[in-house]
Amino acid sequence: MYNRFGNLNLSVIIIMKNYSQICLKLTEFLASYLEKSGAKGFVLGVSGGIDSAVVAALCKCTGFDTHALLMPAKHSSERNLSDALKLCSDLKITHKIIEIQPILESFVAQIGEPLPNLRMGNLSARARMCLLYDYSARVNALVVGTSNKSERMLGYGTIYGDMACALNPIGELFKTEIYELARELGIDEKIIAKAPSADLWEGQSDEADIGYSYERLDEILRLAQSKSEDELARKFDPKLVATVFLKMRANKFKLSLPPVASLE
């Protein structure tokens, strides 16, 4: 079930919509990688959203220690924090709350100018990842990513921020598939039903930022893996197709390691 790059190949199981089998394969992937790494457990940021909830549940299913950091800022939703705390309690995983607002204010003070939402969002994501990697060194754990395939293909994430991790169990699952996996794992329906948000600023919504629902986006993203932009524009809303392909082209660099100059 692994391709030549060592990544888990879920395509056949996903097509069959066998989410019980997907849970098993992802749990095996996490446990196998951890055992080979020599680390003792997993650590991830738990936001109160569906992606981190699914990843936390998968990590817990391995039987290895799972640690959660809850890292709210000034504009973070109280509901999300409450849902994150309940998830940790339900899963019986250790957790720690670290308020990142003082960290962000210190950065902004040194930068010397107010930051627009996008820059502040990127700064928040990178501050959280710094804390995760520091905590991982403290407890000898692997940082587990929580970016789904829809986000990765669209580049909807911060490079060296929420996209940074040692391994990612859900990176080949589209957002709409994450909902099905969440139900298979028994995630609280309150988390499943809420509007997706990275919680980077007050009132922020993933689908509002992108301009389309994940249901519509995923339909195009699935086909974009094998069909051209022109082909899809003849069958679907041309504006939607153009938006998807523009974001894929503009953010492709986020999915690759930085190029290194050859001296040969």
Q: What is the CATH number of the domain that holds 135?
A: 3.40.50.620
**Residue 139 resides in a domain:** yes
The answer on whether 146 is annotated among ligand-binding residues is yes
Asked if the structure places residue 135 within a domain, the reply is: yes
What domain range includes position 99?
Answer: 20-201
For the stretch 74-131, pLDDT in tens is 988 899 999 999 999 999 999 999 999 999 999 999 999 999 999 999 999 999 999 9
Q: State pLDDT tens for residues 23-49.
A: 999 999 999 999 999 999 999 999 999
Q: Per residue in 181-234, pLDDT tens?
A: 999 999 999 999 988 776 666 666 777 778 889 999 999 999 999 999 999 999
151 is in an annotated binding site: yes
124 is in an annotated binding site: no
6 is in an annotated binding site: no
- On the question of pLDDT at 10 being above 90, the answer is no
Q: Is 192 marked within a binding site?
A: no
Q: Which of the four pLDDT bands, split at 50, 70 and 90, describes residue 8?
A: low
Three-state SS annotation for the chain: CECCCCCECCHHHHHCCCHHHHHHHHHHHHHHHHHHHCCCEEEEECCCCHHHHHHHHHHHHCCCEEEEEECCCCCCCHHHHHHHHHHHHHHCCEEEECCCHHHHHHHHHHHCCCCCHHHHHHHHHHHHHHHHHHHHHHHCEEEECCCCHHHHHHCCCCCCCCCCCCECCCCCCCHHHHHHHHHHHCCCHHHHHCCCCCCCCCCCCHHHHHCCCHHHHHHHHHHHCCCCHHHHHCCCCHHHHHHHHHHHHHHHHHHCCCCCCCCC
50 annotated as ligand-binding: yes
The Cα–Cα gap between 55 and 168 comes to 9
18 — pLDDT class (breaks 50, 70, 90) = confident
Residue 260 lies in a domain: no
List of residues 6+ apart from 128 with CB closer than 8 A: 45, 69, 71, 100, 161, 162
Q: Is 175 annotated as a binding residue?
A: yes
Question: Is residue 49 a known part of a binding site?
Answer: yes
Residue 217 belongs to some domain of the structure: no
Asked whether residue 187 is assigned to any structural domain, the reply reads yes
First CA to last CA distance, the chain:
36
Percent of the chain scored above 70 by pLDDT? Answer: 91
Q: Is residue 262 part of a domain?
A: no
Q: Is residue 261 part of a domain?
A: no
Residue 112 among known ligand-binding residues: no
The response to whether 20 counts as a known ligand-binding position is no
Model confidence over 135-156: pLDDT tens digits?
A: 999 999 999 999 999 999 999 9
* pTM confidence score: 0.91
Domains in the chain: how many in total? Answer: 1
Q: Tell me if 184 is assigned to some domain.
A: yes
The annotation status of 38 as a binding-site residue, yes or no, is no
Residue 145 marked as a ligand binder? no
**Digit-coded pLDDT (tens) for 75-91:** 888 999 999 999 999 99
40 assigned to a ligand binding site: no
